[in-house]
Structure 1
Amino acid sequence: MTPFTVLAGRATVLDRANVDTDQIIPARFLRKPRSAGYQNFLFHDVLLQEPDFPVRAGTAAVLVAGANFGCGSSREGAVYALVDGGIRCVIAPSFGDIFAGNAAKNGLLTVVLADAAALLGGADRLTVDLPAQAIICPDGRRFAFDIDAFRKRCLIEGLDDIGLTLQHEAALAAFERGLPSWALLAGSPAP
């Protein structure tokens, strides 16, 4: 996954609470391969009902949202749609737990900030500095945020679950070399 260090970009506000994963990407699109471009399905049904909806693929790198963003089902496709749509950071007062976990594993930074809606104050750009754990507004205001140290490391280094495992490739290979040959053959019974 793409490492996340400092992101300076356009921000958009979605000032509503309880945006669930079915709103982010309707379930019927989850059968599509990710290579089809999940950004095409980002807020698909909401955009049909609300033509002036503020979030569209390719228009912002930071999404400032209301409380309980990403609630609902454990749909990893919601994170795919946001990331494929160019959003690398979501700032909200709270998140659905599973959504936040899926986000971290796919390079999407979730920042818990109590007064997220007041963050922009009329501006449409933000800088998110993950190493410094700060959000910087164009007028110079800074907002500190907390993040789990392990999630922070994985995001900064661009490590998903496979990348984390591959960091131990030499140890895994050494372990396999120490196994008896029968143990390496799938389905082979022990002697």
Structure 2
Amino acid sequence: MKAFTQLDGLVVAVDRANVDTDAIIPKQFLKSIKRTGFGDFLFDEWRYHDHGEPGMDCSNRPRRTEFALNQPRYQGATILLGRENFGCGSSREHAVWALEEYGIRCMIAPSFADIFFSNSFKSGLLPIPLAAEIVDRLFREVEATPGYRLRVDLAAQTVTTPGGETFRFEVDPFRKECLLNGWDDIGLTLRHADEIRAYETRRQHDTPWLFA
């Protein structure tokens, strides 16, 4: 998993409440359990006029120009600004994989659905809950300022605007440590590789009949 320390990123604003995981990555893309191949299909039904299917070439698909991700001013965005209850619906990890592969590293919203919130940390994305009035202000600033960027510092737990205003956010200490070090569940396990090998050696010595 890629570590998250600091991010100075362009912000894309998706001004919809209760964005569910089926909107983030529709159900037909769940046929694949790989963690790649989803970025082009992020918000598929909102980005394109036609129906998307796994493996499609998206380069010539008709796009909905009114949707934020299709607008030139938001190309290359790494921070997504959303409304309350972002990531509700099913527990599919594919939603987080699609955001990550598209290039999003951080989401800011008043609230997130619990399972989506947890899945984000496990894939190296940082979901930041901020008060609704702060999010409202950020939406207004993004709308008024093409190229609007925010600076996110995980160690300091701060979000800083171009004008220098800083907002502090809370994050679970364990999740913070994992993100700062790039530890997913496998990485956490591998930190104990020496102890695991020692246990297996002892087990083979103490119960050799299990290995005969």
The residue correspondences of 1:31-110 to structure 2 (distance < 5 A) are 31-32=31-32, 34=34, 37-48=37-48, 50-55=64-69, 59-110=76-127
Question: How far does residue 178 in structure 1 lie from its aligned partner after superposition?
Answer: 1.1
Task: Give aligned pairs, total.
Answer: 185
Q: What RMSD, in angstroms, separates the aligned Cα atoms of the two structures? A: 1.8
Question: How far does residue 119 in structure 1 lie from its aligned partner after superposition?
Answer: 2.3
Q: Which whole-Å CA distance do the structure 2 matches of 1:58 and 1:88 have between them?
A: 14
Which sections of structure 1, spanning at least 5 residues, go unmatched? none
Q: Which moved more, 1:136-145 or 1:172-181?
A: 172-181
Residue 118 of structure 1 aligns with which residue? 137
SS of structure 1 residue aligned to 2:4: coil
The answer to whether the aligner puts 1:5 opposite 2:12 as a matched pair is no
Moved beyond 6 Å, runs of 4+: none
165, 177, 188: which one aligns with 2:201 = 177
2:35 and 2:97 in contact (8 A); partners too: no
Residue 58 of structure 2 aligns with which residue? none
2:35 and 2:94 in contact (8 A); partners too: no
Question: How far does residue 145 in structure 1 lie from its aligned partner after superposition?
Answer: 0.1
Q: TM-score, normalised by structure 1?
A: 0.91
Show CA shifts across 1:156-188 (max 9, x none).
0000000000001111111111112334x4xx7
Q: TM-score, normalised by structure 2?
A: 0.82
Quote the sequence identity (%). 47
Which sections of structure 2, spanning at least 5 residues, go unmatched? 50-63
Residue 183 of structure 2 aligns with which residue? 159
Q: Which moved more, 1:94-103 or 1:36-45?
A: 36-45
1:58 and 1:86 in contact (8 A); partners too: no
Residue 26 of structure 1 aligns with which residue? 26
Show CA shifts across 1:33-71 (max 9, x none).
536521011000111354311135963100010000000
